[in-house]
Structure 1
Amino acid sequence: MSLIQVRPATLRDAKAIAEIHVASSQDAYKDLLPRSALDLFSVQKRQAFWREAIDLCEPQVQVAHLDGQVMGFVGFDRSRDKGTPATTGEIWALFVNPIHWDKGVGLALWDAARDGLQEEGCTKVTLWTYMRNDRAMSFFEKAGFKRDLGSARTAEVGGAPLEEMRLFRSLV
């Protein structure tokens, strides 16, 4: 049985969430983006974003913690994709501090997001991830997500182009 607990984020968590977001992004994307793009990730900017998200509950943000230490976070809500039904949810973000990778933190966060989306009446969930982010692709495919092969698009991250793809799965 895991001792990892998941709870709704509070404004006090915003800095830890921002630090995890930056550290995890820089580690996960080190082979996808040039160093100059990775250096643009800012804890200060991410903290402002996550403070607002937590304050407005958009998306819903939950943190995984152990003994009071925030280990990762997930943001989820209704899908932001145009034309999707109200019963489609979306994982907006799921990041784990790299020192806690492969310890069950991501699974605990996914379980909490899935439960939250089901409570909101969602029957399907989607997310966007970078196609060359093998760690994320593997994690989400193990969690039952499938690739939406017609969804590939190019996103700009720190001035560098990255191909991303939507993944989806049923919640029923």
Structure 2
Amino acid sequence: MKNTQKKSDVATGLSELFEDSLKDIYYAEKALTKALPKMAKKATSQELIDAITEHLTVTEGQVDRLEKVFEVLGLKAETKKCEAIEGLIKEAEEIMESTQEGVVRDAGIIAASQKVEHYEIATYGTLVAFANTLGEKEAAHLLSQTLEEEKEADSALSNIAESSINIEAAEEV
């Protein structure tokens, strides 16, 4: 495939790649503030609904924290379309549409949510490493906070799935 990007659109250094990645995850977090309420509405387990609703509040805080990262770096907070999150959200929507309401759909929502969490964990881990390498200690600290929140969300989803939802879904045949 021929590279048709203009040279000015291509990151030429780690700091540009870092900035580009920040714009990408900023888009992703904003998109999730719209997607999470839809997932909560389609869920039936109160425990899952509560976890999604709580993570929505955390995600809104993460958007604010990313804006602070842009600020400490002296950058304008801008988004860049994140194709990965678009695909993950689309997949979640397809799962919700193609499963029957109840525990099976809840299991699908958890699976889709964990894919998102794993994407975010990978992205924030990379951003922390980039920030540390670039000597951006305050940005690294802020991004590390979000990384830990994403790991906690993933763990909470695993606990919900393994303690009840997956077991109940397996019995629905």
What's the TM-score, normalizing by structure 1? Answer: 0.29
When normalised by structure 2's length, the TM-score is 0.29
Higher relative contact order (CA 8 A, sep 6+): 2
Q: Which has the larger radius of gyration?
A: 2
